[in-house]
Amino acid sequence: MANQASFQLNDYIFNEIMLRFDKELPKELTVDIMPSGIFHIKNNSFDLTIEFIAFKDNDTKNPFIKIKCNGNFLFQNIKSQDEIPEYFYSNSIAILFPYLRAFISVLTLQSNIPPLVLPTYNLSNLEKPLKENTTINE
């Protein structure tokens, strides 16, 4: 019987943060979430980047919030990108996104405005863009 692939979140960091506001939260937010990844063959890991951009009141030229969150996942029993199980792509986003969601709430609260609590999103449609935006680092 073959060993099943497994993975775990090793670490994460918010490495790009921009918050622009007046004195109150916008009434409507337009949200864009863009995932990308790098599979590192040498150390059997995957760097997932989630770029979260929110625009206020449908003003898609001036972001209200722009945050990049990088998560590092470690694999067991994976030797190539083809061996990464399909469920990894959707599950890795689902694992990392709550950290981003909580960070946005704390960031806005600490900015002395009412905290922005993002709703729960169905992120399953981000699996395909993540796969398409994944590169290999040997």
Ranges of the chain whose pLDDT falls below 50: 1
Residues forming a β-bridge with 104: none
CATH topology for 6-137 is: Bacterial Protein-export protein SecB (3.10.420)
How many of the other CB atoms lie within 10 Å of CB of 126? 21
Per residue in 36-62, pLDDT (tens digit) is 999 999 999 999 999 999 988 777 788
CA angle, residues 124, 93, 33, in degrees to nearest 5: 75
CA distances from 104 to 9, 10, 42, 46, 76 (A): 20, 21, 33, 24, 31
End-to-end CA distance of the chain: 28
